[in-house]
Structure 1
Amino acid sequence: MGAMTQLLAGVFLALLALPTEGGVLKKVIRHKRQSGVNVTLPEENQPVVFNHVYNIKLPVGSQCSVDLESPSGEKDLTLPSEPSESFQEHTVDGENQIVFTHRINIPRRACGCAAAPDVKELLSRLEELENLVSSLREQCSAGAGCCLQPATGRVDTRPFCSGRGNFSTEGCGCVCQSGWKGPNCSEPECPGNCHLRGQCIDGQCICDEGFTGEDCSQLACPSDCSDQGRCVNGVCICFEGYSGADCSREVCPVPCSEEHGTCVDGWCVCHDGFAGDDCSKPLCLNNCYNRGRCVENECVCDEGFTGEDCSELICPNDCFDRGRCINGTCYCEEGFTGEDCGKLTCPHACHGHGRCEEGQCVCDEGFAGVDCSEKRCPADCHNHGHCVDGRCECDDGFTGADCGELKCPNGCSGHGRCVNGQCVCDEGYTGEDCSQLRCPNDCHSRGRCVQGKCVCEQGFKGYDCSDMSCPNDCHQHGRCVNGMCVCDDSYTGEDCRDRRCPRDCSNRGRCVDGQCVCEDGFSGPDCAERSCPNDCHGQGRCVNGQCVCHEGFTGKDCKEQRCPSDCHGHGRCEDGQCLCHEGFTGLDCGQRSCPRDCSNLGQCVSGRCICNEGYTGEDCSEVSPPKDLIVTEVTEETVNLAWDNEMRVTEYLVVYTPTHEGGLEMQFRVPGDQTSTIIRELEPGVEYFIRVFAILENKKSIPVSARVATYLPAPEGLKFKSIKETSVEVEWDPLDIAFETWEIIFRNMNKEDEGEITKSLRRPETSYRQTGLAPGQEYEISLHIVKNNTRGPGLKKVTTTRLDAPSQIEVKDVTDTTALITWFKPLAEVDGIELTYGIKDAPGDRTTIDLTEDENQYSIGNLKPDTEYEVSLVSRRGDMSSNPAKETFTTGLDAPRNLRRVSHTDNSITLEWRNGKAAIDSYRIKYAPISGGDHAEVDVPKSQQATTKTTLTGLRPGTEYGIGVSAVKEDKESNPATINAATELDAPKDLRVSETAETSLTLLWRTPLAKFDRYRLNYSLPTGQRVEVQLPRNTTSYVLRGLGPGQEYNILLTAEKGRHKSKPARLKASTGESALSFLQTLVSKHVLTTYCIHCITLILEEKWFPKSALLSGLVCLLIVLAED
């Protein structure tokens, strides 16, 4: 190895010592060596052999020449393809692990060319080779192998790094290229080394749990967000409708109330006591026992149940206040019956002669009366008689068992029969009572019947007036048929008195005494022939009233002579000669003539001039003008013109004049073979009137003309200062030229039909604010300068005005929980409107509603009572939005709930209600009779309990009141909770007995204050039978008859109105005893023996029993005394 190193070193030093013109090489150019190109990999246990062949060829050029012995220089450059055997001895040295074989071929003589690219490349390659040899020498000089590393595996191939890296002597190993790793760079490398969060297998990261991504750099989300969200930094961003750490839970469509429920699989599972889609609705007490529905935490009970939790049974119709309700069953008071005590009992059970309906007897056939105790006549005698013991006594004019038949007058005089009180007369008789004789067929209603004979009206005849008569008996010139004359031939008229003309003169004349007087143009006995005018002057024949003229004549009456060929329609005929119209000639005007013989500048063909080249016009008198004059280019000082002309022209005359007053006309000429020119030295911004004439043989054509203005410079620096809903303010840079005004134009690009808004501004204005624009519209703003009424080129910019918000916001129909928001739609076209509302003092708590562009009102609910809210409206279109339009309002006080009547008397009503949510001062009760009257009001303090109860007193008995209860706070008052409630009827006053007898009691009382319909009196007979009597309302006394002597009676008197009744006025009263009973009592008490005389005295003084019993009492007393 030492000898080889010295040899290589000597060669390298010799090469580097070669003289160069460029001096010392300061910069070293390095090239990365291609791996494996000159390497032979031997069998195992064989050295690695490097074969390097360097052919150094210097190019021939102006700076570098080669002088070789060979004329061509190619001989020294030819190299054997195989190395010589003198070099092979190094490859069999078993102690060498690496063998280098080098051949370096350099021409024998060469000049120094340090600056040549090939020389630089050669020096670089040699330097690189030197570095490589030096490096290998250092590695292999110790004799224990490369870098003193223990040999493992294929050590012979390790230094080459698999062509995917470079070997480092410092680390004694491969420095791999990006993407590879391992001792010899043979293993694919994972990106980022998996960030130490996974294993690298075949270049792919197998991430540890909790990490993901190509390089395990991303935090993994639990359950990969259940495919229902995006994973961002290990946190799931769930899609709409899902939630949870792993997005596995469905979100409830309505957020569950956090305090009252839990969202499970997209449904709110409510806690006990709460319900609703969001569990925000509190349930009612005991869930209303499933006997009602829960409304705002209050039970609305099903029919048949009552109470705070619907646990109590109610009686049907509250027993109509005619009984007591016990556990849902009515126990009716006397006189009433039925499930709800709604049925009245009938007096005396209708005596068995009828049925009881609503407390009234519906009697069987044949019976009548309040209690069906009376007999009834058939059909109640039809109200045409009166009933006496069940039999009818009929009124005059009626008859029959039930007086249902009518009597006829005079018994129809014996000439007819009576039917329903009217006479149906026999044949030959008539009249109300059939007393008059009748005429045949009643004279057919065409005459009068006198004693059975017809006296006919005019126009009728016959014994029964059935025949019609004709006027004047048709004058004997026709026959009478149904009152009309059918005339004989030759006669006519209503009465056949007029003579008739043949064929009625064919409707072309009038008939006079049977002869036709024809109209003009007609003749003949029947005027059927037409006549000709003037009999055609004997120069034609008359055919159907028209003359057919002989040859050479014409006219209606053949009076006129005819011209040849009728002058071909190009002239008029006078005395048989044609007078031709202009443009025609000849005997018959059949030839056309040309105007002015074409001015001798053309030929006349068929009346038209064919002009010579360069001439035109109807008579060829004009020079052909140029055509299609166009302005091809305009600058500030020049105008380029072009025109067309295919005719012969001597030259063109161009005339141009400023259009402003006092402008100087200028002109110049252009050769006839040119059709374009340039007008120069014009004034900028001036309008010129330009004319181009064609000239031919000193004749000038009519001109072709154009108006054109030289250009003005365009403004600069147009920009926007402010953009609002209906205004745009712009500004621009000043312009240092002479001009008259600025002109600024606003054009609505969305609505072309609206036209443009143009404003002229005088110098030195450089800004302008345009108002009155439409919101949300795209406008093009163009700025021009104007000089001599000519507008220069514009500077344009486009902008869009801001969207306008909905306007005139109003909050209507505000209640304690709702409000109606109305607005005027924005003027701009919008995609929709965003409505946001919330409590004014809680800006973070807002509700947003997206509305369509067509809506102009929205009702918001679920508001809190007595709370100030703020509502804002914003117009939206795409990513544009308007400024918000805002309005505030305060909700009303909430009304009391569940207002009900707790109890009532005849002068008071007790009410109870559930308190509202708002903090209030008091409750105000307003009440008045429904039937009319003054209203009253009273303020009641709010109870600290859930409900407030109060009693209205001093009310009228038996009166229904309309009652409203509202919450009051300062000057605000809620809507009222209302109810109708009635006081009880007051009982009759001061019920007493005014007179007593053995079998009767006379009662007196005072009328109740309430309005009522009737009284109902109840008492019981000694037999136990209960008697009920209904009395008119104007009654204040009544006598109970048929009573037993010496009996005590319980008497109840009630006032009734409809189904309502008062509490009863009660009275206990006894009838008087009989005389015999009284004397027996005296005997039993041994009163008579001692006080007999005194007793009789008392009897006589009527102090112990009534007058009616006086006589019988005395008789009984004598009998007793006789027995004693």
Structure 2
Amino acid sequence: NLRVGSRTPASLELTWDNSEAEAHSYRVVYSTLAGEHYHEVLVPRDTGPTTRATLADLVPGTEYGIGISAVMDSQQSVPATMNARTELDSPRDLLVTASTETSISLSWTKAMGPIDHYRVTFTPASGMASEVTVSRNESQLTLSELEPGTEYTISIIAERGRQQSLEATVDAFTGVRPITQLHFSQLTSSSVNITWSDPSPPADRLVLTYRPRDEEAAQQLALDGTRRHASLTGLRPSTEYLVSLVAVHGAVSSEPVTGSITTGMDAPKDLRVGNITQDSMVIYWSPPVAPFDHYRISYRAAEGRTDSTAIGNDATEYIMRLLQPATKYEIGVKSVRGREESEVASITTYTAMDAPLGVTATNITPTEALLQWNPPLMDVESYVLVLTRHTVAGETILVDGINQEYQLTNLQPSTTYTVAMYATNGPLTSQIISTNFTTLLDPPTNLTASEVTRRSALLSWVPPVGDIENYILNYRSTDGSRKATHRFSHLLLLASIRVQELIVDAEDTWIRLEGLSETTEYTVRLQAAQNAMRSGFISTTFTTGGRVFANPQDCAQHLMNGDTLSGVYTISINGDLSQRVQVFCDMSTDGGGWIVFQRRQNGLTDFFRKWADYR
């Protein structure tokens, strides 16, 4: 049951019933009956009872032999065959090239593919049709002995045997039919559309001229002779224009056909809104060019009545009040002069939703703060937070609408921040609320006691991130006494003062305590200061050492007592407290603990003497 569905000059649509065997595809073979243009294509089997395929790029008006075989694996059925012919191609671009009182000249584009001839039919307004046959090699024709001053409908088709193509048609007029009137439409403040009738004979070109009535300088548009309309743009508002159209035939120009139009008033420009609150907003605009008496402003809620008001022609803004919160408004502004009105400049916007309340910052640390607020009455889709500090560009944070707090992290210590926030719900936004807070001064870190001896210890720390002015250092021993310190070149001498706080320069990151009590536990606390701001404390604990030898007899025993610095020490000869002498102890050479008997300083002392001299 192979059959042809739709056909065109270049294609055939084929349909056939699927084979009973489970063929997965069909092989379609086709060519002209003369054996030319042979093609072969494999078509997948369609689901359902039939399969469809379209043969394209065929020769118009040509009969094709077609064979279709079912294919299953390597097997192929006996083909079903048929013949089918493509449609004839139609002649195109039928044009009237000239006309006289009794004749009309035509031209067209030849049809593709084989044809026998063309058939031209021409029918006057009286309705008596006539036909003429034209050779397939021709592409133009002059119809003569026609009725003067008569409109004709002319059509042309291609024929081959009984087969006919689609027709091409054109209207034509014998004699001279000038353009008699210009028709204006779609008039605005800056443009207009113009249409006109066909001239006969057809014009080679058209010249459209227009100018303001009160000016001599005119503008011209050169148009193709086949054009039947034009648009004038860039016109001045509220201005009368004179328009003329001339048809040019060779070197002869027709009498101009004229008309006039007056452009409309231009509307206010750049309409925009600002200062939007829950119940008000401000409308801004730029004035129109054309003179006018006043503005008329109208606004309407999405489901409410329209309110309007007139304001003076010198205004460029208007405050709309008593609006509904979170409501869509359609706003229009137009200029009015007498009974004439401009086009409407319009904009659609929303009033603000109610804002969140009471935003505050709590739990403030050097690097964190907790923002908390009360939600608005309306549903909130999200909150927008904008965090700014100093001259740094604001950071925008989006918070889900179900939240009423947000933890800020990674802040800079000792820095003042401004948080601006507003609520959103779709296109709606609330007013902005804001708060300021200052992060705390961060303390120094990693306070460590090292090189602890009987009477001294070295304290070191890592400075804070924020800028500081100085440090405050204090310490306490286990007996509860509190001592302050005095800094001199990183060497602190202790004093029995209970209430004084001592200041350490901001540039210092270590300090040595001297003159401590032996075998005593000390707690040291350190904090940073910037003006009146204080950081938190950091602390550490250490215990000074005790003496191994109560009365050292030499430098070695001093070293074992923990005296590691070279210098002058007191020793008791053979442990006799009545023989106490001061000696210089070298605590660094060869492990330390050496009594220095002689030491060169400037080379003036003679050391080459006998023991008796030293004794």
Larger radius of gyration: 1
* TM-score under structure 2 length normalisation: 0.40
* TM-score under structure 1 length normalisation: 0.24
Higher helix share: 1
Structure with the larger RCO, 1 or 2 (CA within 8 Å, 6+ apart): 2
Higher strand share: 2
